Amino acid sequence: MKRLLCITICLLSMGAGAQNPIIRDQFTADPTARVFNNKVYLFPSHDIPAPAGQRQDWFCMEDYHVFSSENLTDWTDHGVILSQENVPWGKPDGYSMWAPDCVAKDGKYYFYYPNAPRGGRGFAVGVAIAEHPEGPYTPEKESIRGVMGIDPCVLIDDDGAAYLYWSGMGIRGGRLKENMTELKDGSLQMEGLPEGFKEGPFAFKRDGRYYLTFPWVRKENGTETLAYAMSDSPLGPWQFKGIIMAEHDNRCWTNHHSLVQYKGEWYLFYHRNHYSPGMDKRRSACIEKVSFNADGTIQEVKQTLRGVGLTQATSKIEVDRYSSAGDGVSIEFNDSTDTFQGWHATLANKGSWLRYNDVDFSSISAGYVSAKIKANANTYLTIHEGSAEGKLIAKLAINVETQRYDLRGKWVILTYALDEMPRGTTDLSIVCEGAEISIDWMQIKTAPLP
């Protein structure tokens, strides 16, 4: 057995990290992603726990943040760009800052957002304008005349014409004036969409064809799928094409999404209540890759824990966000009173395995592996390149009864020398070789000590 180089007994919980959800310190619903200046900007809505006096079992949103990323893995939070008390036409305590969008036109950024109007009922849609995607954004004094509803989305066509879509008694759309803040000729109901509840329109153009994508409840007592229709014209009529993503398997009622092309790949941003399993109005943004068929139709997308993007071998590899797993693997929150502390995986039996895709070893040439693990009896894990039968990279043993410590049931960080150093980007598999063992994360290091 390899010599154990270092043991750290974890007295404090470590910060959570994971691939899906992509933002790991706050809720982020209704994720609209846009590419500006070669970066992906994420404009989600911001679920918060409802303050006293507000409905506890409903959506509660008081402001918007914007985030950006160049690799879809590391996200920078640029902070609050708009709060309910700064919307001149909105209820300052409406907590109704629902799904937004942002587009760039002629060097300016137009942020569209729904909100509860002051002294009125239902929802209206406003615009806030900035010189930079990160803001500062200045809200227009009035909401957009003729738009009563939620979930605005803007498509700018190749000829510069801009179209606004939103939901409210179905999905409506209309052309915007050059000023981007008013409808040009009113609006019309989008025709050709299936029966059943629809909201959250997201429109885009690809290879000369228009796509209208939307959350859709397809069956009685069902929850939302993500579905789409195509057309040769920005305002339809539309031809319904089917499902992009099936209902959540945990009955989270909403889904809401955007599709964006970045560095040659298409991605679906969507949400799910990962950090709030008991309450589906506190959601978190996730990403998956999307593929199109030759005829322009969209292949159905499956939800994963792993999400997208490379994980640097030298960062904490949150293996509980695995790509696939065999029998005997389960995940649990690290701290059920603070779910943002993330998860750990438990491999219950000898032979239980999990696989984590796309780990980038290119910036490291020799090394050690540290892992945060926990067991009740002496046992060990092996780490392999590729599948569970792939080349052995390291063996992580835990001896729970050392001369100095009783480690039974305690989280410890163990550090070992690697047997082999993978090159480039590879998948990693972790295999339980003995009694039950839990793992929170692992990390490749150039030096053995932290």
Question: Which residues contact ligand FUB by CB under 6 A?
Answer: 29-30, 45, 59, 98-99, 150-151, 199-200, 254, 256
Shortest distance, CB of residue 367 to ligand FUB, whole angstroms? 43
Calpha distance 190→72 (Å, rounded): 32
Shortest distance, CB of residue 256 to ligand FUB, whole angstroms? 4
| Closer of 10 and 48 to ligand FUB (Cβ) | 48
Shortest distance, CB of residue 419 to ligand FUB, whole angstroms? 48
Shortest distance, CB of residue 199 to ligand FUB, whole angstroms? 5
| Closer of 199 and 360 to ligand FUB (Cβ) | 199
Shortest distance, CB of residue 171 to ligand FUB, whole angstroms? 11
Name the strands in the sheet holding 108-115, side by side, starting at the edge strand that comes first in the sequence. 101-105, 108-115, 124-130, 138-139
Shortest distance, CB of residue 114 to ligand FUB, whole angstroms? 7
| Closer of 98 and 137 to ligand FUB (Cβ) | 98
Shortest distance, CB of residue 99 to ligand FUB, whole angstroms? 4
Q: Is the dihedral of CA 21, 22, 27, 30 positive or negative?
A: negative
| Closer of 268 and 329 to ligand FUB (Cβ) | 268
| Closer of 229 and 285 to ligand FUB (Cβ) | 285
- 409: which residues sit within 8 A by CB, 6+ positions away? 374, 375, 376
| Closer of 274 and 306 to ligand FUB (Cβ) | 274
Calpha distance 263→38 (Å, rounded): 8
Name the strands in the sheet holding 239-245, side by side, starting at the edge strand that comes first in the sequence. 202-206, 209-217, 224-231, 239-245
Place of tokens 């985030």: 67
| Closer of 41 and 216 to ligand FUB (Cβ) | 216
Shortest distance, CB of residue 435 to ligand FUB, whole angstroms? 44
Shortest distance, CB of residue 331 to ligand FUB, whole angstroms? 25
| Closer of 29 and 287 to ligand FUB (Cβ) | 29
| Closer of 58 and 405 to ligand FUB (Cβ) | 58
| Closer of 140 and 199 to ligand FUB (Cβ) | 199
Shortest distance, CB of residue 233 to ligand FUB, whole angstroms? 24
Write the CA distances from 439 to 281, 323, 383, 436, integer angstroms: 30, 15, 12, 10
Shortest distance, CB of residue 223 to ligand FUB, whole angstroms? 11
| Closer of 253 and 333 to ligand FUB (Cβ) | 253
